[in-house]
Amino acid sequence: MTETVVRADGTPETPGTRHPARPRRTSGTGRPAWSLLVLLIAALVATPVVAVVVEAVTSTSLALPRGLGSMVVTTVALMVGVGLGTLVVGGGLAWLVTAYRFPLRDMLVWLLVLPLAMPAYILGFVFLSTFDISGPVQTGLRSVFGPDVWTPDVRSLPGAIIVMSLTLYPYVYLLARAALVEQAPGTYDAARTLGASRARAFWKVLLPLARPSLAAGLALVMMEVLTDFATVQYFGVQTVSVGVYLVWHGLFNFHAATQLSALVLLFAVAVLAGERLMRGRARYHQKGGRGRGLEPYRLTGWRGWGATLLCVLALGAGFVVPVARLLVWAVGDAVADPGSLLDPRFLEYLVNSTVVAAIAALVCVLLALTMGHALRLGGGRVVRTASQLTTFGYAVPGAVVGIGVLIAFAALDSALRKMGVPGGTGLLVTGSVLGILYAYVVRFLAPAYQAVDASFAKISPTMTLSAMSLGASPRRILARVHLPLVRPGVAVALVLVMIDAVKELPIVLLLRPFGFTTVSVWVYELASENFWRQAALPALVIVAVATVPVFFLFRQVRLVDPHRKVG
Amino acid sequence: MNPALTPVTGATTPALVLDDVTKTYGGTVAASSLDLTAAPGELVTLIGPSGCGKSTTLRLVAGLERPDAGTIRIAGDVVAGGRTWQPPERRRVGLVFQDHALFPHLTVAQNVAFGLDKMPRRERTARVGEVLELVRLGHLASRYPHELSGGEQQRVALARALAPRPAVVLLDEPFSSLDENLRAQVRADTVAVLRETGTTAMLVTHDQTEALSIGDRVVVMRDGVIEQADTPEKVFEAPATRFVASFMGDADFLPAHVRDALLTCEIGVVSTVPGWANCDVDVDVVLRPHEVALTLDPESKAHVVAVEYHGAFVLHTVQLASGRTLRSWQPHGVRHPVGTAVAVSVVPGITPTLLVGDEAVTQPPPPR
Amino acid sequence: MRRTSLVAAALALSAAVSGCGVLGIGEEPADLQVYSARHYDLEEAFADFTDETGITVDFLYGDDAELLQRLKAEGAETPADVYMTVDAGNLWKAAQDDELAPLKSAELDGAVPADLRDPQGRWYGLALRARTVAYNPDAVDPSEFDTKDTYADLADPKWKGRLCMRDETEAYTQSLVASLIDLYGREKTLGIVEGWVANDVEIMSNDILLLEALDSGACDVALVNHYYYARELTENPDLNVKLFWASQDGAGTHANISGAGVVESSDNPKQAQQLLEWLATDGQSAFVDGNHEYPVNPDVEPEQLIKGFGEFKRMPIDAEAYGDLNAEATDLLAEAGYQ
């Protein structure tokens, strides 16, 4: 029998079982070593961000670009639009593949994550070149219906919302799906036996239970939207991030750029606060073990194929069509210049991309695990705050994080010089991949932590307490209790960071040492000069590289089939 | 059940001692100057209304909270106090939770073996078998928790807590997630296992019957304070406070008067109060329904206002002339319809509890 | 995922970090290191330079404003000897921030026209590009263009619904508008840009899209860099687009440069200067031809294809002014509602 206990602090479900005023954890019982570790991680991750903020604050002049007000409004509109879009698409698809059986479902379950593998800077261009005024779609329409045929304005806010929703929905999908698989079964059954219809059980039970995961997914989406520059620029949507770019590159005013970045950071604070709010004061955790799993309902006939079609449509728009277009270009390019396929540097770039992304993913997951674990051991408010601080890096545009890393190390160097330490850190940052890795961790710890934390949230605290009382040391609890139980979250975290890191461009561009080129830099080199056809092949390589972890890890975690038992 | 164990002195080390333990959260006092001792093998039940501090007490003992002041000793070792603070894993405390908190990714045997990792393998296997037999679950050793019933899960949780031979086992509402039918059986089994192994246990509950029926000693708490810690009989028959009287079983209170060792109230003479010879004081008398007798008396100003059928007994609520009500248990066959005029008296041989203010008194209060 | 695998992961991690050889780090550094926002054909040009001089050159490609920031952060430790950008504004900014060393080189001064280099010799233009009008000959007769103030004339209502241009975040747009501010003053330029906006200018996010839009008839007129036109032409000789040299009877066609300077804290300034000198003279063709750009050196012939576009009068470049005016142009574009 599994049963999910939903408790809202202060409103115990059984009289006399809970204290109204009992806080989750108080200081004093935490493990100093683990708490210290979290504080260290937070300090490490916060440093570059703080460096940027300090730079922004200490600047004497305040140079804000014209139209800042409308940039703020546009940013909010974009965030809300994409938030709703991803919620509907991601949440809906997660429900569909979990609650129903239909043709090709087992394959679609993991295929639906693939749009994540598509970098926004590639997708934006592919979409515009396909659907904008000079693209084949509108050209075709004009040739059929004459030059005055009405066509929607693709390069617009709605256009950007649609494209971003189609690429970013997997964040919500992944976390919602994990939540549904991990915790739904018992509660859902309970609701159904209480006479609730499937739909009612979904709205009243599953949705509230999945809320922390949905909130976490949405927070990731919002932060991606906040820091995106490429897509919004393609679509002519002036967000605050575009403002950062404008003042930096157009006004040559780096200080003003840091000031605007601080504004982006404020948005991030709002997003994270919103996430907390959405999680509510309620705590969710699963009691007992994995259940039978949500017994999927078989959809037959046109309903089944209808469900398949829905998934295929989402997948097609966010992945298949752009990949197809890239393929057409790549083949065209290969035909025109067969030599380009055999460039020996392909392999080197590929190795660079994957190795750095893999290391970054591992480091991020280890840090996220450390934080989640330390919190569970009873770190108290300071540790909790510290671990939340680490997620801010995700809301800072990559180029700004990169600059933050540079500033931080420059400051460290001059401090070392003042203290009379010879040598300093030298070119530790830009002389090796350490700078890139560091910036990756700053930026991508958030998705890792969100995913791991969402899994931790589903472990009942009594589980940890039981383990403690059985004499298990914190390390043993991590290895034997927490790690096995948060494995789905760990897998999701690895996938998210890997994919993000493989796609990441501005950080690599800025911090890479001489001779270090990744596939994304290679794409950018070509794309910035508008060699789109030549860029198609490396772009496909990125997509392929980002696809591998999705496939591999989905097999590993067996998110595909909750019925298979772990252990 | 078991005869009450007298508090241990000198010869044996108490299994658990709380000495002046205080814990506050922000401005809220969750535990205030708690003093409590449990002898080896004793089963202490902690009871009180929601927010009384019983769970906090348990968490303090387990090491899940750190006291602001005071000392906690387990089997003679200071585990919290002054600068000393032992984390839960060093305390030799077993925990059983309401939600059982079994590790879902481990089998029953692995769950039970979890606390035995420092034991040699052979010994460990033997111990796991032993405790599983104790809870009669040997045949389910290789199952996973989700394949067990609620009662079985509860027994695994107990076995897991007992396996490392803890000095104290703490049970946090261990039966409240079980359904009514199952609960009595599981409770009996659990107590039997605790007795059989001579385990010292502290059990938090909100069920009065449970607290009275299984505890060697019952600790009644309210607002972070221990109101009374005594044998079940004492707690029920000689409650220390008005709160204990009303919380542990049904009780009605009537204003009364003692003059020259004679206790009188609205229903007449209640009893004599030995030792209260030369006094003349107002008190409240505590009357429990089983102490109140009814006789038909058309002349009486008191009459029945409610009748509740409870099977073996019938609960009558009687309104007195003053408007106050008393409750009375009548045997199965007796049922006075609502409106019946009845004379109310107290069953002979009763020494009712007297209250001055909210405190029970056994000595006459000093004259004002 | 037991502890053993965690340990294994940690080991793999440290191995990967220390084994940077795999990642192409730790190789012998080249004699000269170039931070470049320009990528195209650099490899070939630098290889030629090494062949001729024996000096090896490595370059790190990146975004110019960001590379400048990296240069500043690295300070005296920077490995960079040369900073190369794709527009005059960033060179001006780098010089402003004292990141570039003044050079004294008769060779450079002789090869690069005075308005394409810093008066103090801190940077030199090396390649020239024109941003001019391209049109679909089926929709536009070149006589429709104003030959004196071509850019300004595009604000005329007769172009309503026929214009396509780049977005406001693009340096090309900004520097063109900056040059117009330099030419006409802020107020008049604001009127011009507002005129473009009033003409429902279709904004696109790259020049290739603009050319494709012209070719397909979706736009009649667009502002493009000449070399994108040249490139599209080589890929598609049937491209139904023609180039028109703007403002030939007026101030001339807007042009910008790609250029470079020697980094102040370079530990090899002599060879760095030598590289610049070579790029401005013997290396000009190798540097500019691949990307269909015009050489800055008047003694060097442009490549055949763009030579066929004909001679044109170029609006003088005032990097000093563009550096400042670029900021104003960005502001003006926002004010005019150009986005």
User: Which three-class secondary structure state does DSSP give residue A458?
Assistant: coil
pLDDT for A290 equals 43
Q: Does A45 touch chain C (CB under 8 A)?
A: no
Please report whether residue A25 resides in a domain.
no
Q: Does residue C173 fall inside a structural domain?
A: yes
Among the partner residues C70, C164, C205, nearest to A128 by beta-carbon distance: C205
User: Chains touching chain C at 3 or more Cβ pairs under 8 angstroms?
Assistant: A
CA-nearest of C263, C271, C270, C276 to C77 is C263
Q: Are residues C249 and C328 in the same domain?
A: yes
Tokens of C7: 């340990």
Mark whether C143 and C198 lie in a shared domain: yes
Q: How far is C214 from chain A (nearest CA, A)?
A: 8
Contact A455, A286 (CB under 8 A): no
Q: What is the mean pLDDT of chain A?
A: 78
Residue A50 has pLDDT above 90, yes or no: no
Which residues in chain C touch residue A139, judged by CB atoms under 8 angstroms apart? 216, 218
A394-417, pLDDT tens digit by residue?
878 887 888 888 888 777 777 777
In this predicted structure, what is the pLDDT of residue A195? 61
Binned at pLDDT 50, 70 and 90, residue A521 comes out as confident
**Within this chain, do residues C296 and C327 fall inside the same structural domain, yes or no?**
no
Please report residues of A whose CB lies closer than 8 A to that of B53.
19
C-alpha span between B217 and B6 (Å, rounded) = 10
Q: What is the pLDDT of residues C129-167, one digit of tens each?
A: 999 999 999 999 999 999 999 999 999 999 999 999 998
Own/partner contacts of C152-158, CB < 8 Å, gap of 24 or more, are C152/C180, C152/C184, C152/C188, C152/C192, C154/C192, C154/C195, C154/C196, C154/C199, C154/C221, C155/C191, C155/C192, C155/C193, C155/C194, C155/C195, C155/C196, C155/C198, C155/C199, C156/C195, C156/C199, C157/C198, C157/C199
Residue A102's CATH number: 1.10.3720.10
Residue A516 has which token pair? Answer: 């270090």
CATH node for B16-241: 3.40.50.300
Q: Does A138 touch chain C (CB under 8 A)?
A: yes
In eight-state DSSP terms, residue C34 is: E
Distance CA B26, CA A217 (A): 34
Tokens encoding A102:
């239909």
Q: Say yes or no for a CB contact (<8 Å) between C202 and A133.
A: yes
CB atoms B62 and A469 under 8 Å: yes
Cβ-based neighbour number of residue A269 at 10 Å: 11
| Residue of B295, B305, B299 lying closest to B326 (CA atoms) | B305
Kindly state whether residue C6 falls inside one of the protein's structural domains: no
- Minimum distance, in Å, between the CA of residue A547 and any CA atom of chain B: 29
Residue found by looking up tokens 């795999």 in the block: C22
Tell me the whole-structure pTM to 2 decimals. Answer: 0.79
Q: d(Cα A174, Cα C303) in Å, to the nearest integer?
A: 54
Number of domains in chain A: 1
- C74, C192: one domain: no
Residue A461, Cβ neighbours under 10 Å: how many? 18
Among A81-95, A263-277, A544-558, B214-228, name the one with the lowest average pLDDT.
A544-558
Same domain assignment for residues C48 and C81? yes
Q: Per the structure block, which two tokens stand in for A430?
A: 């830009």
Report CA-CA distances (Å) from B61 to A183, B79, B202, C255.
31, 8, 10, 80
Distance separating alpha carbons of residues C48 and C56, to the nearest angstrom: 10
* ipTM for the whole complex: 0.80
Contact yes or no for A468 and B63 at CB 8 A: yes
Residues C197 and C325 in one domain: yes
Distances (CA, A) of A549 to A158, A309, C110: 31, 25, 57
Chain A stretch 479-538, residues whose beta carbon is closer than 8 A to a beta carbon of chain C: 479, 483-484, 487, 490, 506, 509-517, 521, 525, 528-530, 532
Question: Would you write out chain B's pLDDT as a tens digit for each of its 368 residues?
Answer: 344 444 444 457 899 999 999 998 877 888 888 999 999 999 999 999 988 888 889 889 988 888 989 999 999 889 988 788 888 888 889 989 888 888 988 999 999 999 898 889 999 999 999 999 989 999 999 999 888 988 899 999 999 999 999 999 999 988 888 888 888 888 999 999 999 999 999 999 988 888 998 989 999 999 999 999 999 999 998 999 999 999 998 899 999 988 888 888 888 888 888 888 888 889 999 999 999 999 998 888 899 999 998 888 999 999 998 999 999 999 988 889 999 999 998 888 888 888 988 888 888 777 65
Partner A, chain B 69-88, Cβ-Cβ below 8 Å: 85, 87-88
Query: Which residues of A fall within a CB distance of 8 Å from C241?
Result: none
Query: Is A75 inside a domain boundary?
Result: yes
Domain annotation covers residue C312: no
Q: Are A257 and A400 in contact (CB under 8 A)?
A: yes
The answer to whether residues C87 and C117 belong to one domain is: yes
Question: Quick check: is C19 in a domain?
Answer: no
Structure tokens at C102: 């003044």
The string over A122-149, giving b where at least 16 C-beta atoms fall within 10 Å of a residue's C-beta and e elsewhere, is: bbbbbbbbbbbbbbeebbeebeeeeeee
Residues of C in contact with A556 (CB under 8 A): none
Q: Tell me, yes or no, whether A7 lies in a domain.
A: no
A87-96, B183-192, C109-118: which is most confident: C109-118
The SS3 of residue A127 is helix
**Looking at chain B, which residues constitute the CATH 3.40.50.300 domain(s)?**
16-241
Instruction: Choose among A22, A28, A9, A23: nearest CA to A379.
Output: A28
Residue A249: Cβ within 10 Å count: 25
Please report whether residue A298 resides in a domain: yes
Taking an 8 Å cut-off on Cβ atoms, the answer to whether A1 and B149 are in contact is yes
Q: For residue range C27-55, what is the model confidence (pLDDT) as tens digits? A: 567 899 999 998 877 888 999 999 999 99
- Interface probe for A, chosen from B90, B146, B209, B221 (most Cβ of A below 10 Å), is B146
- C265 and C217 in one domain? no
Q: Within a domain: residue C24?
A: no
A267 is in which domain, residue-wise?
36-557
The answer to whether C and A touch (≥3 CB pairs < 8 Å) is yes
For chain A, the chains sharing at least 3 beta-carbon pairs closer than 8 angstroms are: B, C
Determine contact, residues A255/A61, Cβ cutoff 8 Å.
yes
Q: Do C189 and C45 belong together in one domain?
A: no
d(CA B203, CA B171): 5
CA distances from C298 to C110, C246, C285, C295 (A): 10, 21, 12, 7
For A555, residues 6+ apart whose C-beta sits below 8 A from its C-beta are none
Q: Quick one: which of B87, B206, B31, B171 has its CA closest to A21?
A: B31
Burial degree of A513 (CB within 10 A; 0-12, 13-18, 19+): buried
C267 and C233 belong to one structural domain: no
Partner residue opposite C206 with nearest CB, options A142, A433, A530: A530
C106 falls within a domain: yes
Strand partners, B18: B36, B72
pLDDT of res. A406: 82
Shared-domain flag, residues C48 and C118: yes
C43 touches chain A (CB under 8 A): no
Domain membership flag for residue A565: no
User: Using the beta-carbon criterion (under 8 Å), do B105 and A289 form an inter-chain contact?
Assistant: yes
Strand partners, B293: B345
Of A254, A431, A515, the CB nearest to C24: A515
State the count of interchain CB pairs (< 8 A) between A and C: 187
Residues A200 and A284: their CA atoms lie apart, in Å, by 19
Is residue A301 situated within a structural domain? yes
Is residue C100 in some structural domain? yes
One-character DSSP codes across A44-99:
HHHHHHHHHHHHHHH-S---PPTTHHHHHHHHHHHHHHHHHHHIIIIIHHHHHHHH
* Residue C14 included in any domain: no
CB B104 within 8 A of CB A460: no
Q: Indicate the DSSP class of residue C253.
A: B
Q: Are A250 and C330 an interchain contact pair (Cβ–Cβ within 8 Å)?
A: yes
Q: Do B28 and A17 touch (CB under 8 A)?
A: no
Full domain range(s) for residue C112: 29-128+255-302
Instruction: Write the CATH number for C49.
Output: 3.40.190.10
Asked if the structure places residue A300 within a domain, the reply is yes
Residues whose CB is less than 8 angstroms from the CB of residue A552 and which lie 6 or more positions away in sequence, other chains included: none
Q: What does DSSP say about strands B262-265 and B268-272: parallel, antiparallel, or unpaired?
A: antiparallel
Give the 3-state secondary structure of residue C254.
strand
Instruction: Note whether A469 contacts B88, CB cutoff 8 Å.
Output: yes
- C-alpha A391/C-alpha A219 separation (Å) is 10
Task: Assess A39–C contact: CB distance below 8 Å, yes or no.
Answer: no
Q: What is the maximum span of chain C, computed from C-alpha positions, in angstroms? A: 78
Radius of gyration of chain B (CA): 24
What pLDDT sits at residue B280? 85
Same domain, C193 and C77: no
Q: Is there a contact between C13 and A479 if contact means CB atoms under 8 Å apart?
A: no
Closest approach of B203 to chain A, Cα-based (Å): 13
Show the DSSP H helices in B31-76 as ranges: 54-62
Question: Which is more confident, A172 or A564?
Answer: A172
Q: Do C204 and A133 touch (CB under 8 A)?
A: yes
What one-letter code names the amino acid at B99?
D
Chain A contact present for C236, CB below 8 A: no
The per-residue b/e assignment along A442-456, b for 16 or more CB within 10 angstroms, e otherwise, is: bbbbbbbbbbbbbbb
Cα separation of C111 and C282, whole Å? 10
Strand partners for C133: C223, C244
Phi, psi of B319 (to 5 degrees): -100, 130
Q: How far is it, in rounded angstroms, from Cα A548 to Cα A555?
A: 11
- Count structural domains, chain C: 2
Nearby residues of C62 by Cβ (< 8 Å), 6 or more positions away: A509, A510, C35, C36, C37, C70
